[in-house]
Chain A
Amino acid sequence: MPCERHLILKNIRKPGYSTDIECYLRHGGYEVLRKALALQPAAQPDGTTLGPKEQIRREVEISGLRGRGGAGFSCGMKWSLVDRKSGKPVYLVCNADESEPGTFKDRQIIHHDPHQLIEGMIIACYANDVHLAFIYIRGEFIEGARILDRALEEARAAGFLGRNILGSGYDLDIYIHRGAGAYICGEETGLIESLEGKRPYPRIKPPYFPAVLGLYQCPTIVNNVETLCAVKHIVGMGGAEYARLGTPDNTGTRLVCISGHVKRPGCYEIEVGKVTFRDLIFDEAFGGGLLDGRQLKAIIPGGVSAKVFRAGEKVRVNKRTADGKMIETEMDVLDLPYDFTSVSAAGSMSGSGAIIVLDNSADMVEVLANISEFFAHESCGQCTPCREGSLWMAKILRRLAKGRGQPADVALLLSVADQIPGGRTICAFGEACSWPVQSFLVKFGDEFRAKAEANADKKSDRAFAETQ
Chain B
Amino acid sequence: MKQSQQSNDPLAAPPGMISVTVDGRTVLVPRTMPDWQGRQVPTTMLQACELAGVTVPHYCYHPKLPVAGNCRMCLVEYGVPALGPDRKPMRQPDGSLVIKKSPRPAIACATPVSPGMEIYTSTPTVKLMRQSVLEFLLINHPLDCPICDQAGECKLQEYSVEYGRASSRFVETKVHKNKQVDLGPRIMLDQERCILCSRCIRFTRDVVGDDALGIVNRGSYSAIAAYPGTTFDNNYTLNTADICPVGALTSKDFRFQMRVWFLKETMSLCASCGTGCNIVIGSRENRIYRFTPRQNDAVNSCWMCDYGRLNYRWIERADRLTNPGGTKLTKPDWEDAINGIAAGLKQTIPGHIAIVASARLTNEELYLVRRLAQFLGAPTDCAPRSGPADNLLLCADRNPNTKGAQLLGIAASLPGANLPVFARLIRNGTIRSLLVFGEDVTRHGIAPEDLARLDFLVASDIHSNGTTMISHYFLPGCAHVEKRGSFTNVHGRIQKFEKAVDPPGLARPELYWLSELVCRVTGQSVGRTVESVFEAMRAEVPAFRNIAWADLEDHGVATSV
**Across the interface, do A392 and B72 meet the contact criterion of CB distance under 8 Å?**
no
Q: A206-B110, A465-B173 in contact; A419/B72 too (CB < 8 A)?
A: no
A207 to B44, CA, bound (A): 11
CB proximity to B under 8 Å, residues A412-468 = 412, 415, 419, 422-426, 460, 465-466, 468
A389 at the interface (CB under 8 A from B): yes
Q: Which residues of B contact A382 (CB under 8 A)?
A: 70, 196
Q: A204-B67, A399-B172 in contact; A385/B133 too (CB < 8 A)?
A: yes
- What number of A residues sit within 8 Å (CB to CB) of B? 37
**Across the interface, do A423 and B106 meet the contact criterion of CB distance under 8 Å?**
yes
**Across the interface, do B133 and A384 meet the contact criterion of CB distance under 8 Å?**
yes
Q: Which residue of B lies closest to A422 (CB)?
A: B104
Q: Which residue of B lies closest to A430 (CB)?
A: B72
**Across the interface, do B222 and A383 meet the contact criterion of CB distance under 8 Å?**
no
Min CB distance B62 to A, Å, is: 15
Q: A383-B71, A396-B172, A426-B70 in contact; A390/B132 too (CB < 8 A)?
A: no
CB proximity to A under 8 Å, residues B113-142 = 128-129, 132-133, 135-137, 139-140
**Across the interface, do A381 and B219 meet the contact criterion of CB distance under 8 Å?**
yes
**Across the interface, do B218 and A182 meet the contact criterion of CB distance under 8 Å?**
yes
Q: A422-B104, A425-B72 in contact; A392/B172 too (CB < 8 A)?
A: yes
A388 at the interface (CB under 8 A from B): yes
**Across the interface, do B139 and A207 meet the contact criterion of CB distance under 8 Å?**
no
**Across the interface, do A423 and B219 meet the contact criterion of CB distance under 8 Å?**
no
- Most A CB contacts (10 A, CB to CB) among B71, B139, B172, B195 go to B172
- Most A CB contacts (10 A, CB to CB) among B69, B128, B169, B222 go to B69
Q: A382-B70, A384-B133, A392-B139 in contact; A377/B172 too (CB < 8 A)?
A: no
Min CB distance B174 to A, Å, is: 10
Q: A207-B110, A419-B135 in contact; A388/B140 too (CB < 8 A)?
A: yes
**Across the interface, do A376 and B172 meet the contact criterion of CB distance under 8 Å?**
no
**Across the interface, do A424 and B75 meet the contact criterion of CB distance under 8 Å?**
yes
**Across the interface, do B220 and A379 meet the contact criterion of CB distance under 8 Å?**
yes
Chain B 138-159 per-residue mask, 1 if CB under 8 angstroms from chain A, else 0: 0110000000000000000000
Q: A385-B136, A419-B135, A424-B105 in contact; A380/B72 too (CB < 8 A)?
A: no
Q: Which residue of A lies closest to B73 (CB)?
A: A384
B111 at the interface (CB under 8 A from A): yes
**Across the interface, do A388 and B112 meet the contact criterion of CB distance under 8 Å?**
no
**Across the interface, do A387 and B173 meet the contact criterion of CB distance under 8 Å?**
no
Q: What is the number of contacts between chain A and chain B, taking CB atoms within 8 Å?
A: 103
CB proximity to B under 8 Å, residues A190-207 = 199, 204, 206-207
Q: Which residues of A contact B195 (CB under 8 A)?
A: 384
Q: Which residue of A lies closest to B107 (CB)?
A: A204
Q: Which residues of A contact B139 (CB under 8 A)?
A: 388, 392
A383 to B105, CA, bound (A): 15
Min CB distance B35 to A, Å, is: 11
Min CB distance B57 to A, Å, is: 13
**Across the interface, do B110 and A383 meet the contact criterion of CB distance under 8 Å?**
no
**Across the interface, do B110 and A387 meet the contact criterion of CB distance under 8 Å?**
no
Chain B 217-237 per-residue mask, 1 if CB under 8 angstroms from chain A, else 0: 111111000000000000000
Min CB distance A418 to B, Å, is: 8
Q: Which residue of A lies closest to B131 (CB)?
A: A419
B170 at the interface (CB under 8 A from A): yes
A81 to B201, CA, bound (A): 33
| Cβ 8 A contact of A204, one of B75, B110, B169, B214 | B110
Q: Which residues of A contact B132 (CB under 8 A)?
A: 385, 419, 424
A34 to B106, CA, bound (A): 46
A127 to B145, CA, bound (A): 59
A234 at the interface (CB under 8 A from B): no
**Across the interface, do A460 and B218 meet the contact criterion of CB distance under 8 Å?**
no
Min CB distance A160 to B, Å, is: 39
A384 to B175, CA, bound (A): 15
**Across the interface, do A381 and B221 meet the contact criterion of CB distance under 8 Å?**
yes
Q: Which residues of B contact A83 (CB under 8 A)?
A: none
Q: Which residues of B contact A395 (CB under 8 A)?
A: 172-173
**Across the interface, do B105 and A384 meet the contact criterion of CB distance under 8 Å?**
no
Q: Which residues of B contact A468 (CB under 8 A)?
A: 172-173
A379 to B507, CA, bound (A): 61
| Cβ 8 A contact of A466, one of B107, B137, B173, B215 | B173
Q: A389-B136, A426-B70 in contact; A380/B172 too (CB < 8 A)?
A: no
A419 to B165, CA, bound (A): 14
Chain B 156-187 per-residue mask, 1 if CB under 8 angstroms from chain A, else 0: 00000000000001111101000000000000
A383 to B221, CA, bound (A): 13
Q: Which residues of A contact B169 (CB under 8 A)?
A: 412, 415
**Across the interface, do A204 and B69 meet the contact criterion of CB distance under 8 Å?**
yes
A406 to B171, CA, bound (A): 10
Q: Which residues of B contact A392 (CB under 8 A)?
A: 136, 139, 170, 172
A391 at the interface (CB under 8 A from B): yes
Q: Which residues of B contact A389 (CB under 8 A)?
A: 136
A378 at the interface (CB under 8 A from B): yes
A385 to B73, CA, bound (A): 10
Q: Which residues of A contact B105 (CB under 8 A)?
A: 422-424
Q: Which residues of A contact B140 (CB under 8 A)?
A: 388
Q: Which residue of B lies closest to A198 (CB)?
A: B214
Q: Which residue of B lies closest to A395 (CB)?
A: B172
A112 to B104, CA, bound (A): 42
For the complex with contacts A382-B196, A465-B173, 7 further pairs of A-B residues with Cβ separation under 8 Å are A385-B132, A385-B136, A388-B136, A392-B172, A424-B129, A424-B132, A425-B72
Can you name 15 A-B residue pairings with CB atoms under 8 Å? A204-B67, A204-B69, A204-B110, A378-B219, A379-B218, A381-B219, A383-B71, A384-B73, A384-B196, A385-B132, A385-B133, A385-B136, A419-B128, A422-B103, A422-B105
Which residue numbers of B lie inside 8 Å of A, CB to CB? 67-73, 75, 103-107, 110-112, 128-129, 132-133, 135-137, 139-140, 169-173, 175, 195-196, 214-215, 217-222
